[in-house]
Amino acid sequence: MAGRRETGLAAVAGLVAGVVTIGVGAAVSLLTGPSSDPLVAVGSAFVDATPAWLKEFATTNFGTNDKLVLALGEVVVLLALAALAGVLAARRWAWGAVLVVLLGAVSALAATARPDAGTLAGVPSVVGTIAGLWTLRFLIRRIPDASASQREAAQGRRGFLQASLVAGAAGALALVIGRTFGATARKAEQARGGLVIPKASTPAAPVPAGVDVGVDGVDPWLTPADEFYRIDTALTVPSVDPSTWRLRIHGMVENEVTLTWDELIASDLVEAYVTLACVSNPVGGDLISNQKWLGLPIKGLLEKAGPTGDADMVLSRSVDGFTAGTPLAALMDGRDALLAIAMDGEPLPFEHGFPVRMVVPGLYGYVSATKWVEDLTVTRFADAQAYWTQRGWSAEGPVKTQSRIEVPRRDTTVTAGPVVVAGTSWAQHRGVRGVQVRVDDGAWNDATLADDGGIDSWRQWTWTWDAEPGDHELYVRAFDPAGPQTGAVQGEVPDGATGYDTVRVKVS
Ligand SMILES: Nc1nc2c(c(=O)[nH]1)N[C@H]1C(S)=C(S)[C@@H](COP(=O)(O)O)O[C@H]1N2
Ligand SMILES: [Mo]
């Protein structure tokens, strides 16, 4: 860049690039969650790092405006740094670029360090920074050179200001869009942070210590909430503020019923361990997890509504339009079919349906586990179709009895002699009665079952194999009260995969 650019214009270029950065960052955060918004992330990190005395000073002097003062302060500091970056960039591009990248890195780090950060939390900062750098480069290049004639300089200045105006307006628009649409998400996030989960009126039966077989490589019996499998059609995770949440129960009922959040948490809540499984889980797959849920039994609500005539299905709908069709009988027969509000003693994570979702033991998620649920229509299978049923999956989806070998891992080599084979089986709401393991074409051998955590949860098992050298195949099957699971191989469509999980190992 030959010659010195006008310092004032360079500062303007920096300011505009700053606005574009935070605007684009805010807009992108609509996809990645409110706490990933660069301004929010940096502000929150600042609040966390603020010493107690300064926090007190802020609240005593600014009262409830302390957040506003913080936000203003943050914007002022940021814009000053942005102007500085512009001035530096006009002298030497690399200096300005380094400052912009540093600011972007701080923001990305702040966003990924939030306790509720998703895997993509740094993305808005990175995308915003790239947009900002590009804007800065574009504008700096348009600043008229000091060597230009007066006429050229005046023309150049006009062109620069026009370009700045357009870029600045675009950045501001992105910011307004990000902020306006992000407001609901921020509200829901605040609400979730402030919730106190009530105690269960009916706590779950205590789980025996031996539900875990204690073999390295076997998934924990209780899936950590942040490792719970996630399946849904939501491009962006819905943000629902519990204070405005309502559930409407209508259709083939005597009385239409609505339920608010306050009514829900004031009700007698039930706690239950339930293993949730996806119909798309292939044999041996991991689209299955076990957790402790707290919620209101759906049965009582339906009794209040009073299903009429030959109603046999409840079509549940989420705020984003997903629907599931659950057999009315499964909701009324006394199993722990819940409107769940908590998982592992905490409010539901947003991805798992905050503030309220359904959990029904014994049924695949696609026919029962509606997240962000807001509407229950009592109807008939003959009259209504749910989301996945319209797309070729079965109307009813009872979970199939299945087993998985987790140790040894497939295609590994083990040493001849005693080898521990271990894994998990499930037959939700029927219960696993036994598990057997077979080597190659040999006879079935009884595995040892881990302690029982209830018929709605999966069950671990182990078997010690006296392994002989060579290539071998291990097979597993579980028994429920009706007998052994089927070995017939069937794919996931239309109602869940069947067949024996098979693990090939080399014994040396
Ligand atoms: N709103 C909504 N709820 C939904 C779905 C969805 O796409 N949208 N998917 C269902 C399916 S197919 C499954 S397997 C479970 C998964 O729940 P999880 O993501 O909490 O594990 O949610 C069910 N509930
Ligand atoms: Mo699913």
225 vs 211: CA distance, rounded Å: 18
Q: Where are the domains of the chain?
A: 2-181, 209-391, 402-507
Q: CA 398, CA 402: separation in Å to the nearest integer?
A: 12
Q: Report how far residue 8's alpha carbon sits from residue 102's, in angstroms, rounded to the nearest whole number.
A: 23
pLDDT at 189: 87
Structure confidence at residue 114 as a pLDDT band (50, 70, 90): confident
Residue 438: its H or E element? strand 434-439
- What percentage of residues in the chain have a pLDDT greater than 90? 81
Structure confidence at residue 146 as a pLDDT band (50, 70, 90):
confident
Closest CA to 413 of 452, 475, 469: 469
Asked if 360 and 325 count as a contact pair (C-beta separation under 8 A), the reply is no
Ligand nearest to the CA of 365: 1
Nearest to 186 by CA among 319, 36, 65, 78: 36
Answer yes or no: CATH 3.90.420.10 is held by domain 209-391: yes
Question: Percentage of the chain with pLDDT > 70?
Answer: 97
Mutate to test the pocket of ligand 1, among 233, 360, 363, 371 (most ligand atoms within 8 A of CB): 371
- List, for residues 154-177, the tens digit of each pLDDT value: 899 999 999 999 999 999 999 999
pLDDT, one tens digit per residue, over 324-336 is 999 999 999 999 9
Of 366, 389, 391, which is best to mutate to test ligand 1, by the most ligand atoms within 8 angstroms of its C-beta?
366
Distance 392 CA to ligand 2 centre (A): 13
At residue 35, the pLDDT reads 81
What is the distance in A from the centroid of ligand 1 to the CA of 41? 29
> Would you say 221 and 457 are in contact if contact means Cβ atoms under 8 Å apart?
yes
Least confident of 27-36, 55-64, 273-282, 475-484: 55-64
Q: Are 451 and 222 a contacting pair, CB within 8 Å?
A: no
CB-based contact 143:13 (threshold 8 Å): yes
Q: Return the ∠ at Cα 199 (arms to 342 and 118), rounded to 5°.
A: 25
Task: Quickly state the pLDDT bin for 1 (edges 50, 70, 90).
Answer: very low
Residue having the nearest C-alpha atom to atom 4 of ligand 1:
370
Residue 240 pLDDT greater than 80, yes or no: yes
CB within 8 A of 251, min separation 6: which ones?
Answer: 311, 315, 376, 377, 378, 379
Q: Which atom of ligand 1 is nearest to the CA of 228?
A: 21
Token pair 């829900």: residue = 264
Contacts of 458 (CB under 8 A, 6+ apart): 221, 275, 288, 290, 424, 425, 426, 428, 432
The pLDDT of 77-98, averaged and rounded, is 95
The position carrying tokens 């009262």 is: 63
Report which secondary-structure segment, H or E, holds 390.
none
Which ligand is located closest to the Cα atom of residue 322? 1
Q: How far is the CA of 280 from the centre of ligand 2 (A)?
A: 6
For ligand 1, residues with CB inside 6 Å are 228-234, 276, 278, 318, 320, 322, 352, 365-366, 369-372
Pocket test for ligand 1, best of 230, 232, 373 (most atoms within 8 A of CB): 232
Q: How confident is the model over 51-72, as pLDDT tens digits?
A: 777 777 776 777 667 777 888 8
pLDDT digits (tens, 9 = 90+) for 363-413: 999 999 999 999 999 999 999 999 999 999 999 999 999 999 999 999 999
| pLDDT value for 2 | 39
CATH of domain 402-507: 2.60.40.650
Q: Are strands 402-407 and 502-507 parallel, antiparallel or unpaired?
A: unpaired
Is 112 buried (19+), middle (13-18) or exposed (0-12) by CB count in 10 A?
A: middle
| pLDDT given at position 72 | 86
Q: Look at ligand 1, atom 5, and give the residue with the nearest C-alpha.
A: 232
Can you tell me which atom of ligand 1 is nearest the CA of 358?
Answer: 24
